[in-house]
Each structure stands twice: as structure tokens, then as C-alpha cells.
Amino acid sequence: MAKPVNVNQSKWTVPVLLKECEIYCPSTCVAFGPILSDNDSKLIIAHGGHRGVNMKLKVFQQLEQLSESSLADMPTALVHFINDLSSIPSIAVAAGPSLLIYKNLKPFYKFTVPSSAINPTESEAWKAVVNKKINGDTLLTVLKRLEDDVAFSKLTPISQTYLRADKETQVVLVEHYGTKIANSATITCIAKLTKSTAEPLDILVIGTEHCEIFLIDSQAFTILETIKIGSVPVNICAYGTYDVDYRLFVQTRASLIFCMKRGEADYQPIVISQSMITSMVLVNKMIVYTTVENLIHFASFRGKKMNTVKCPSKIKMLEPFIYPLKQLAAVIAVFDKEIRMYNEHYLLDTVQYEKPLAWVKYGCYGREDSTLVVAFKDGSIAIQIFRRKANFDTKLDYNQVPQAHALKLQIPKKTKVFIDLTQREVQLGNRIHKVYQKNLFDVKYRLAASYLELTSSASATVSTTTVLPVEISVDIHGFGPTFRMTIHLLSSSKQNLYDMHLSIISDPELYDFDTPLIPVHLLASGQSYSFTTLLYCKDPEKAANCDVRALLVHAKRATPIVTAVIKMPFSEFPLD
């Protein structure tokens, strides 16, 4: 089922499935942490449900669901934080423009992002339509003109919905929401930042659709700082403590990464990516981010790229991995059916699964500090624990080369002969080249000369033209003094060949031919032709033999098209 391959060498224990759970949520809606008085770390999930139905905040303990409560709005992110040292930690769920705070699994507070300024024309139009001064259609026209003038994203969420809704919904919208128009931006991402090491309270950091980042004091829910950036933030990673020194790394929808330090007002992007950034995490004082080109980049906090991994397939998400007992740190990259662990130099581990993955979360669950929660596409969730004896001793290069290519060449040592030869080559290079060229020319000359001799004398089976490829073979039958000679011709040229002759020549003292010249009227391509002639040995008692040549000739060609040389056998005596 959910079993990974190669369990024995795995750095993780065999996954255990949670009972009766079906979870569909993004990886941002998952957190670990103690939320009840028993101090046992729980798995907290804001379950997205189906199209706004069945949205739940679920809490798991051990392998079972501990509790669930309904959510009113679609959750976008979730964070577990400490806002009171004397009591239990809380959960913040970002839904729409609000943060819903849960304490002891009960609703505790609702924080809504302050409204931005509303376009005056827009608010007037809404007022007018509520007071029945204008009708719905006029409102639509006004909003459409505004959309052209100031851009769709600058309008309030309610106007945006109105513009995209059908007639009936528009009427409902006016009735229900017309009087209370607010321009609260939807929360896109949430992170937490420790206040100070002495006082481990958390500061909440939220990013909104209106390109703003708020730092919120989690005790009184007052806004400590507001930061305006040039693009919509989608992911925030916090580092350091708020009171001493902190940095916020903000990934935006425009594929930029900003770094915000304490006490700095000017924010410039530190990473500008040409392709879309899909995920970003912090590991070991490094920013690790992925792009749509299946690359994982490791960059320093200043944005200087240190290394890049090319991955074989699409990376779904990244998750930081820290094992403080052995000071191991890595980044877990989630692929379709496997996870891989990388650090800035090596590929450290690969775990394969039999089902497609949705997300993973690493942290403290129950009593074990290094637990990996793996969620599959089908909604099931498995839990694995990092083995105590596991290490990262076996490292692989990012892009592994096949074994044979990785072998180093055995370069021989510099012997005296080698040095002498090298010296000679350096000193007499010119002469060596000339001698070589002369020899090469000689070889070519001899080759040409012998070829010419061969073709002109027709003393061997040689085809002189490449344009007319004809194969010839000759059979000799009989023991003598009368022989039967059969010549087979096979043309493989594209056109048919006409008007040729087969000429058979030999020493006239030795042999006599029945038909020394056989006319070949047609050689059709690909067809085999055979011609037969008888030949008589004139004087078998001499016990002599010589070569017989069969030439295929054409009247208009000086050289034969093809030649066969037949070594004749010794002739027997006639049977008298």
C-alpha cells in the first residue's frame, strides 16, 4: 500500500497509516504542536472540504482523530503559536480576510485585516444602489468603467464578486453586503516569528492580497508593523527573533524574493527569478527555492546562488529537515511518487512510495521529534519516524553519471621514452609532419596506380563503375575436357541496362569456347540472369590450366562494367 521500496536501508521507519482519515488540504494548512494541557504534540489540519462544504479544523493524536470543529470560511493557511506563557498555545487559521484564533480547540478571537481605502466612486455607487437611487445594471456599468480605469484588483472583493456574478447573485449581493462594504484584503500567507529567546512568545506575520505584510502582536492582536511591497506575497519564512534581529524572506507572486530586516525601510528583491518560483524554505542559513523548470536553487541569505539541482520531474513542494542530535540538515523535495533529501552539495536520500503524494510535513508529532507526516493524493496520511541509527554517510552527486563514465582514465607515468619522444616532437615537429605527408601521398599514389592497373587489365573481379552496380558469379561444371560454364548476373542499379555483351576470354591455345561472346540484351534490376556456354580443353594431356575471364562489356564503354576471373580446374582425360 503505502510502503516505500527498500525498507531495510531506509532512513525512515515503515509508514503507519492514520485510521479512517481522508484529508484534502494544501501543505500550508498543516501544523504540529501541543494545544491541550497534556503537552503532547498534535497534528493540526485545516481540512479544505469540497467547494465550501465540510470545512473542518481537525486534530489528530496518535493514529486517531481527537477532535474536529467546523470552519466558516475556506482556510488558506494555519499556524500554531504561543501567545501566553502561562496557558496553552493557540492555533490561527487564515480564512478570507480574517485570522480565526482557537484556544483549547474553541474559537477565541477573530482578527480582521484593516480595510484599505475604497475608491470614492465605487463606495458612492454602492450607497446609491442600496438607497435604490440607481438599479443593479447601472451599478454594473459603473463598476465596469472603474475596472477599466483603475484595474480589477484595486476594487473591493465585493465589487469583484459582483462583476463576475450572474443576475440572481447580484441581487443577493446587494441585499446582504451592500451596506457594509469593506476593502479588507484576503490573507495569502502566514508565518510566526519568536519575540525573543527569553520570552518565547510568537509574533504573527501575515501577507495579504493588497501587497502588504503585517506583523501582529499575538497577545493583544495589535499591528506592530506594516510593510508595503511591490508584489503580492505568497509565502513568508521568518528567521531570528523580533526583539533582537530578524529577517523575513517573502516570496511573491511575481517570482521575486524580498528580504526584510529589522529597522530597514527600503526593500529590494534579493532573488529575481526568470521562471516562476513554486516553493521556498529556509535550511541552515540558506534560502532554498524551486522553480517550474524542475530546479532547486540554494542561495545565501543575501540572495547569492550557491548551487542548483536539476531534478528529473516536477517538484511539488519543499520541506525543511533538521535533526539536531546529529546536526543533520537537509531539504525534503516532494515529487509525484517519491521524496528526495538534498543538502547544498549532495543528494542524501530517496524514498519511493506506491501512491502519488500530496504533501509532507516534518516536525515533532506525539513524543517523537523527527516525524515525517506524508499525505497522499487519495487523502490517506502515513507517519514515519527518522531512524536513530540513520545518517547521511552515503552521499550521491546531484546528477549522477553512469558508473562507466565516472571512471578515471589510467594515465601512464611519464617514462624516459615518453619524454624523449615528446622532446623530439617539439623539436622536429615540422619534419615529422612533412615525412608523414609524403608517406601519405605515396600511399595514395600507389593505391591509385594499382587500381588503374586492375581496371585496365581486368585481371580480378572488380567493378569499375559505381553507377552501374552489377554482380557476377561463375560456376564451372564437369571434369573435362568438356566443361559447362554458367555465368550469373544480378544488376542492382535503378534503371534497366541494355545492349551489353558477355565476353569470355582465355588463352586460345588451351581452351576453345562454344560461344565466346554472349549478347545480353537486358538486365532488369533485381533479377538474376544466367548464361551458359560450353568450353573444351584442347589438350588435357598437357595438364596445364590458366585463368578464364568473363567480362561484361558495353559497346560505348572503354572499360568492362564487371569482370570475373575463374581459375580453371585441371582437365581429366576424355573417356574413350
Partner 1 sequence: MGFFSSLSSLFGLGKKDVNIVVVGLDNSGKTTILNQLKTPETRSQQIVPTVGHVVTNFSTQNLSFHAFDMAGQMKYRSTWESYFHSSQGVIFVLDSSDRLRMELLKDELMMVMEHKDVVSRGIPIVILANKMDIPGAMTASDITVALGLNLYRSGTWSIHSTCALTGDGLDKAMQQLSAEITKYMESRRT
β-pair type (106-112, 98-103): antiparallel
Nearest-CA neighbor of 113 among 33, 201, 167, 186? 186
Closer by beta carbon to partner 1, 287 or else 373: 373
Minimal distance, residue 14 CB to partner 1, in Å: 5
Q: Are 564 and 474 in contact (CB under 8 A)?
A: yes
Closer by beta carbon to partner 1, 359 or else 365: 365
* Dist CA 260 CA 253 (whole Å): 17
Minimal distance, residue 368 CB to partner 1, in Å: 7
DSSP state of 152: G
Give residues in contact with partner 1 (CB under 8 A): 13-16, 62-63, 325, 365-370, 383-385, 387-389
Minimal distance, residue 276 CB to partner 1, in Å: 38
* Dist CA 309 CA 534 (whole Å): 80
**Angle in degrees, CA 24, 27, 29, rounded to 5:** 75
Instruction: Specify burial of residue 488 (Cβ count, 10 A radius: 0-12, 13-18, 19+).
Output: middle
Cell of 384: 514515519
Q: Are 55 and 75 in contact (CB under 8 A)?
A: yes
Q: DSSP string spanning 58-97?
A: EEEETTEEEEEEE-SS-EEEEEEE---TTS--EEEEEETT
Is the alpha carbon torsion for 244, 249, 252, 256 positive or negative?
A: positive
Minimal distance, residue 379 CB to partner 1, in Å: 19
Closer by beta carbon to partner 1, 324 or else 412: 324
Q: Are 33 and 42 in contact (CB under 8 A)?
A: yes
Closer by beta carbon to partner 1, 38 or else 264: 38
Minimal distance, residue 388 CB to partner 1, in Å: 6
Closer by beta carbon to partner 1, 388 or else 444: 388
Minimal distance, residue 324 CB to partner 1, in Å: 9
Minimal distance, residue 13 CB to partner 1, in Å: 4
Closer by beta carbon to partner 1, 326 or else 395: 326
SS3 state of residue 424? helix
Cell of 117: 481605502
DSSP state of 293: T
Closer by beta carbon to partner 1, 335 or else 365: 365
Alpha-carbon distances, residue 544 vs 165, 485, 507, 571 (angstroms)? 111, 18, 11, 8
Closer by beta carbon to partner 1, 51 or else 367: 367
